[in-house]
Amino acid sequence: MWSRRQRCRNLHRHTSGPAYILCLTPSASAARDALPIGKSQFNEGETIVNGANFFQINGREDGVRSSSSVSYLHPILERENLTILTDHWARKLPVEDGRCIGVDVVLSDGIHSRRITARKEVVLSAGAIDSPKLLMLSGIGPADHLREVGIDVVVDSPGVGSHLQDHPEGVVQWEARKPMVTRSTQWWEIGIFSPTEEGLDRPDLMFHYGSIPFDMHTLRQGYPTSENAFCLTPNVTHARSKGTVRLRSIDYRDKPKVDPQYFTDPYDMAIMIAGVRRAREIVAQPAMAEWAGRELSPGEDVQTDEEIADYITRTHNTVYHPVGTVRMGAADDDDSPLDPELRVKGVEGLRVADASVMPKITAVNPNITTMLIGERCADLIRGASRS
């Protein structure tokens, strides 16, 4: 399946599928080579545990982001069997006699509503935050929580809204001695993977490199900044801390309560502390001497594990990669709301296809993996229809 989906077998990867992918400065390259990191080719079929290179991006040659909408919907907008309703708000998935019969939506005027019925199946693709929200509004979720907010329980599914995973990230920032290039294809040009221990079969630590002052979280905590700066952002690739998504009320307009519970597992903070130290090690290489000025954050006076942990606790950020809140699992796994074919357990005619279905988070951005989940769901539906 992967070879059929993936557009890329060369540097500018666009040969067969709908999504396009485009693929170090000398100083950064030299600093990398001075450490046991090495240069790696991304997306060549091998897991990168230790290596660095320019990121590839989901982008077309005309500069337009190759999003799922641009790649999959735009080319087929004129199909007679496709209707796209914008400015509508799904508020419930009605279930009758154990089967999802459609979706209740609020119209674009924000007042009137209607029910769109389904002859065969409904596929929910609202993302790792809104998919569990809509399931819970429909009575599918942890029974105690549903009763607490006043929703009748249709299916007691404790895994809905649980197991939220993300990539927590910190930032180590330096003032630049030379003018930085601030106009680029993207903020984060370079990816660095550097394991914190020997023998790993997948990376536990990665960095983004940016030629910008990434100070939105450090500045408000009183750390200095500069218009001419660069940074490395240590990122926990496989965080063990798990968060939750819960309803605020029975009103579909209310945003859910999202508690990521970052760093509730000590492992994650240990990785982040190692990341801050590794970032400093990279920038301390002779090749970076002509570029790196003073360390802006956390600052050279922050040295102990406790001091680094305090800094990370106050300044970390999300990179908006939530997954796992409606995860798939074995048919007899009561903590997994979906079966291996993305079907909601306890309800017929309802599947979920988005990042929420991932049992574990990917090491890097989950965007292309989420597209593949959509592709796989289409295959499953097609197979079920034929049988």
- Which are the catalytic amino acids? 321
Question: What are the phi and psi torsion angles at 104 (to 5°)?
Answer: -90, 125
Q: Rounded to an integer, what distance in angstroms lies between the CA atom of residue 297 and that of residue 223?
A: 6
Sign, CA dihedral 362-368-370-372, equals negative
In this structure, is the dihedral angle defined by the CA atoms of residues 193, 196, 202 and 203, taken in order, positive or negative? Answer: negative
